[in-house]
Amino acid sequence: MRLRSVINPAYVLITIFLIGAVVYACNKSNGYGSSNNGGSTGNNISIRNFAFSVSTLTVSSGTAVKWTNNDATAHTVTADDGSFNSGELASGQSFTHTFDSTGTFAYHCTYHPVMTASVVVK
């Protein structure tokens, strides 16, 4: 007796569609994209998975940048030079700072020093 394997083409198409949908959803939901803002939306930066969603954001002078804590734990947005400090941001809280002078402003999370990034103001 000969066994024959039959693969239904509809199942193959459904499987491919589902895999594609899962990959797309994961890329959209993690806050990281391929834009030069590294996942920020405009001048909004997400704090997620113990990281800032953009390592270097370039803006024009006079631009407001907003950070939102999307982690379950508290974080800060603290300028290395002391020029701005969000204080503690609980989950879901945001902090906005307007950059009025040009330069590079490095910042970090006080609670998690490995979390670092910068804003370049032109």
Q: What CATH number is attached to the domain comprising 98?
A: 2.60.40.420
Average pLDDT over residues 25-35: 37
> pTM, whole model, 2 decimals?
0.67
Domain count, the chain: 1
Question: What whole-number percentage of the chain has pLDDT above 90?
Answer: 66
Inside any domain, residue 12: no
Pairing of strands 56-59, 116-121: parallel
Angstrom CA distances, 48 to 4, 35, 36, 101, stand at 50, 17, 18, 28
Range(s) of the domain holding residue 68: 44-121
Q: pLDDT: is 116 or 17 the higher one? A: 116
Token readout for 90 is 């609980």
Inside any domain, residue 19: no
pLDDT the model gives residue 42? 72
